[in-house]
Structure 1
């Protein structure tokens, strides 16, 4: 069994990058088909990856890992539903930063209440990172369209669900291996697949891009693993904020692969993120 000791300064940015890459692949993969059809492909792929990690990293399925893993899976399913409902309402150039900021700020608040402390570099890097989360998540022309109260509540709810998923994973015992990940994925898959079964008549005939959807789920599993590694070897205040910078990965991929233009606000956000992560790595 491999040791769980890893550098937070490497695994936290790795988790953020993997989440961003998963978003980049998952969007086009599900663009035409109903999102629940995508889940029917993605859920088994993600669970398979985590099961393959079991012999390598070990797993202890005692009460605490099962409980915290199940709670993280339920939060993940809620985040999935709320995010896609938010996407349907828009405008995402306003709502995406709200979701990302809430998903970063809530774990920070919980960690500080539980006695975590930041050094001088962290006290500068943390607010910089929160600013970068908003800048990178905002699309071109942010602030032009005013979201409805319902849309804002959905975005806040999605961010809260993402934050709870991270907090619950962080609470799982450090010697439980990948048990919380396997349990969480099994619960979230069961919930979303049950929803797909209930709504099968309304899913339409369009099929998702199977390979891209599966690849996105594999990357999501990798991101969860890297987050767990980082959280077990570092402060939740640092790890959660760095993880919330995941839109940066999607932006960079869109620029490199699709040659999309990155507007000035996002360029400033990427620069701010780089400085913030460097400072947080020193804590």
Structure 2
């Protein structure tokens, strides 16, 4: 069940990331993330209120701190990631960002989990893949900005996944709610300071709502999976989301990668797959 839920989260994440990246090509990434997070927060708030009316009021617990950490890192990662997707090659950006899986794997080991030797072999393969996939960008042939942003997104995503896992062990629903509450509060402050919502118009809301709900569903699937087993394994399987992003970019945008980048992407994905063994 852990594998099914984690793989389902990766498929949903990959799809929402692709369309989020598309929207970010015409709207500021911070506006896209802020609005999708706000919509998801409204949905979660309704669920929390309904449960409270049914006799299940929310209770404060350890989830609060983890939810706040997940909210800050998750939102920051999405802004960096959508910006990278909008300005770089999706087939390269997505695999690099997915290597944030190394963070929960390392933290999982540090807190007592014992991954098999396959995990360490997979890490080596994945790192080689990252270097190959980002080679042309790092060489200066094209802008290194998308690669750097993808690296920032990876670090943020990794910490968010670990925090989400720890919070979900106390309360899945409230961790998701607290995560969105934290991120929305940050974006509201930013919007007030800038006195702008980034050009979001009514016609954009349907697409943004779908992206926000998809991201929320992926978070819920991952948190459920990780709370039923080792976060290091769930994180690796969840990190396979670039497969969906790359396939959609190839079909919809007709993206083409250089040979060395194709090898790097395949290597990065193979590394993640090996770790799951």
TM-score category (smaller protein): 0.7 to 0.9
C-alpha deviation, 1:221, in angstroms:
0.4
Change (3 A) 1:61 1:221: same
Is 1:17 aligned with 2:4?
Answer: no
Which residue number in structure 1 is paired with residue 28 of structure 2? 34
Change (3 A) 1:131 1:211: farther
Change (3 A) 1:153 1:31: closer
Cα distance in structure 2, aligned partners of 1:253 and 1:69 = 31
Which residue number in structure 1 is paired with residue 223 of structure 2? 228
The answer to whether the 8 A contact 2:172-2:223 is kept is no
Which residue number in structure 2 is paired with residue 4 of structure 1? none
Change (3 A) 1:88 1:259: closer
The answer to whether the 8 A contact 2:15-2:244 is kept is yes
Which residue number in structure 1 is paired with residue 59 of structure 2? 61
Is 1:72 aligned with 2:66?
Answer: no
Any stretches of 5+ residues in structure 2 without a counterpart? none
Which residue number in structure 1 is paired with residue 104 of structure 2? 107
C-alpha deviation, 1:30, in angstroms:
3.0
Change (3 A) 1:139 1:201: same
C-alpha deviation, 1:257, in angstroms:
4.4
Cα distance in structure 2, aligned partners of 1:157 and 1:140 = 17
Residue from 255, 266, 269 that aligns with 1:273: 269
Which residue number in structure 2 is paired with residue 158 of structure 1? 153
C-alpha deviation, 1:100, in angstroms:
3.2
Q: Normalising by the residue count of structure 1, what TM-score does the alignment of the two structures yield?
A: 0.75
What's the secondary structure of 2:65's corresponding residue? helix
The answer to whether the 8 A contact 1:8-1:231 is kept is yes
Q: Tell me how large the CA RMSD over aligned residues is.
A: 3.9
What per-residue deviation string (whole Å, max 9, x for no partner) do you get for residues 120-177 of structure 1? 5545555445556x38x94795544368898776554432222221111122252413
Any stretches of 5+ residues in structure 1 without a counterpart? 1-6
Change (3 A) 1:14 1:52: farther
Give the length in aligned residue pairs.
271
Which residue number in structure 1 is paired with residue 116 of structure 2? 119
Cα distance in structure 2, aligned partners of 1:138 and 1:49 = 37
193-202 or 212-221, which deviates more: 193-202
Alignment of 1:169-184 (within 5 A): 169-172=164-167, 174-184=169-179
Cα distance in structure 2, aligned partners of 1:161 and 1:245 = 17
What's the secondary structure of 2:169's corresponding residue? coil
Moved over 6 A (4+): 87-95, 146-153, 205-208
The answer to whether the 8 A contact 1:104-1:130 is kept is no
C-alpha deviation, 1:74, in angstroms:
1.6
